[in-house]
Structure 1
């Protein structure tokens, strides 16, 4: 599957166990010229089959579903379709849900009460290989990386600095993974930790803050 570009259509599969939600998302994306909804699924098992058939760029998935849930789906896609980006769209923003999804390899985590434009921006960013987090989710991750007693672990590891250097030069997740001989899922995990430690929610802000603090 080729890397999505700004000019190309972003192929999306929608995964949600509520038909009304799927209808609403399909209608929203259908009104945008750069999106093409190529499939839908009501749970993770159906989603795996749909992804294999439709070859999407991005999967927009709910988290809690009957049968195979969103986290298990993300893990399976990370091995079966590693170039497909998964953006979680859910009502749940608890620590357990957020951390589980990100650790499984989710590219983004958005909430269902997010404005329409925020969801569209998130999907476009994910198609470019960028991680996208709702503001409340960023706060959860910042808290998750705090040490006992509230001391923030703000220092980046050598590997995180290395990842950030490539990101600051404009590399996407796939390019960083190739440069460092790691998987895209590993790059995503590094970026999420970088965002949390720097108190930002996207790669552009991370690069700016890193330059301001002299980390690069």
Structure 2
């Protein structure tokens, strides 16, 4: 009986040694294969992303140093189920800090064609500013995002203190976002009203017809800016 126990013990020890050696050989093989070396190089030196891309994301919106979080698949519906809201989709860099420091926040709303007035508002109000904006379709949304980017790059007051909220007609929520940021390099920071006037000329006739038939949802926008 004692001899059988010893034999089983020796066999177990032998198997353990063989398995350990086998695992070591496999590990060395994976470490020094050519494929693995290539993978390590790729991880250590990832390719640089293209600069100033034209965005064609389905649902999402992001670009390098642009701190915007807008996912068209998310948002919330209003009580009438006619509009979709996106709260704080683009917050100022100091907005959260200012919101804690100040007891009063300036809340306002605007359509795209009047958004240039935000420049003057931000010059006279030193606290946080909450702005609800309305876009009537995909082309107007793209122009809106481009113009907000222009304002944030040209106006430090807006970049730091303004938080943007968005309202879209539920029946006209775009499936994708397509913004060409290359256009900003040709825009004059000192002429926000003129710049906007040129941009709204690119709104499609179909969107214009829809806006003429549907009044600006002022009462709905109040619930977004609060």
Please indicate, yes or no, whether the TM-score normalized by the shorter chain is above 0.5: no
- Relative contact order higher in (CA < 8 Å, ≥ 6 apart): 2
- Greater C-alpha Rg: 2
